[in-house]
Amino acid sequence: MGNKKKSKKAILVLPVEIIIEILLKLPVISLLRCKSVCESWYSLISDRHFIKRHYSLSSTNINCEHHRLITIPWEQRNNLNSFPLSDLMLDINNVLELDNPLQRTQPRDLSIVGCCNGLICLFLNNDDDYNLFIYNPSTRIWNGLPFRRRKSRRGWHARYSFGYDESSDDYKVVEMSSNFEAEFKTDSRVHIYSVKTGNWKRLGDCSHAIHSNGHGKFSNGALHWLTYESLGSSFTQRIVSLDLEKETYGEVLQPEYDEGDKTLGLGVLGERLCVLCNYRESHADVWVMKVYGVKDSWSKLVSIPCQTDLGMHYISMPLCISNDGKVLLGNWWK
């Protein structure tokens, strides 16, 4: 009998570096499926360094392909709706209702505290308790934070903020309580929660009253708030910061606004701190700080006219500004 040659199929094995580069370009939903391929892929995709690289690449996509706007509908305060930013910029109402851990049969007062690195901090106000959650809308994974028991004080209201301390690779939630029956004359009492340690701790008081409607805005490793300071019959506003690494307070100097009656709003565009200066029923200027901490780096990005015929007596903080100059606004007055 002649020797029979056994044919062998060549198995193509890609270098690990190429596999990583391919996986980094996939959307999250595809990565979740890839975790089931083998143990090595599961470990790779679950690695914190890989997650950080994937988020960094997707967040800098200039076409907003992976960017989504997440909102809470007024009629269903326990739901989360997600909109692709690329669709909204083209006036396409492609809404997706997210599965989330806070959906209940009875309505609840749910609010978004802040977002950072693809994670969202949610605050749920029940009749009997207060709850904070950190939620990943891509993976649907969530973690509840332990409730910080506090004494009930008349007139005192707590506001929460969410940020990331890169030096310790730790996410932190800040609770700032102020007495709004004291005519802006009281300090704000501050507690901070570390996700890494799982504990709350008391910080030194902030010597300003924080705006009652504002959660802190995270930018450049710090949280920022608009504060009020009484000056006799009037008041002035400041931008107060809290460095999450050093856990120290500071102040960000503001741009030189135009003269006239105005109100200020604080926000973040991209990763830059911004201020919205509203001149009632006239226009609003959007200022962006190009170099953090440098007053002269404030630049007026855009001036937006009010459209009173559309019910816009004030302009809301821009949600997004595209490279071709389109400005996406949320109109809360219609």
Q: From residue 170, how far is each of 48, 117, 166, 195, 332 by CA, in Å?
A: 12, 12, 7, 6, 34
Q: Is the predicted pLDDT of residue 70 greater than 80, yes or no? A: no
Which stretches within the chain are classed as H helix? 16-24, 28-34, 39-46, 48-59, 85-88
Model pLDDT, residue 273: 93
241-260 pLDDT, tens digit per residue, is 999 999 999 999 999 998 88
The answer for residues whose C-beta is within 8 angstroms of residue 83's C-beta and 6 or more apart is 68, 69, 70, 71, 93, 94, 95, 96
- In which band, very low, low, confident or very high, does the pLDDT at 329 lie, cut at 50, 70 and 90? confident
Q: Write down the domain spans for the chain.
A: 16-60, 259-334
The answer for residues whose C-beta is within 8 angstroms of residue 86's C-beta and 6 or more apart is 63, 64, 65, 67
The answer for residues whose C-beta is within 8 angstroms of residue 9's C-beta and 6 or more apart is none
* Site of tokens 């006219």: 305
290-316 pLDDT, tens digit per residue, is 999 999 999 998 888 887 665 566 777
116-155 pLDDT, tens digit per residue, is 888 889 888 765 555 788 988 878 788 888 877 665 566 5
pLDDT (average), residues 187-207: 87
Bridge partners, 68 (sequence order): 84
Rounded CA-CA distance 155/151 in Å is 12
Q: Is the predicted pLDDT of residue 286 greater than 70, yes or no? A: yes
Amino acid at 97: E
Q: What is the pTM of this model?
A: 0.80
Encoding tokens for residue 79?
């739901």
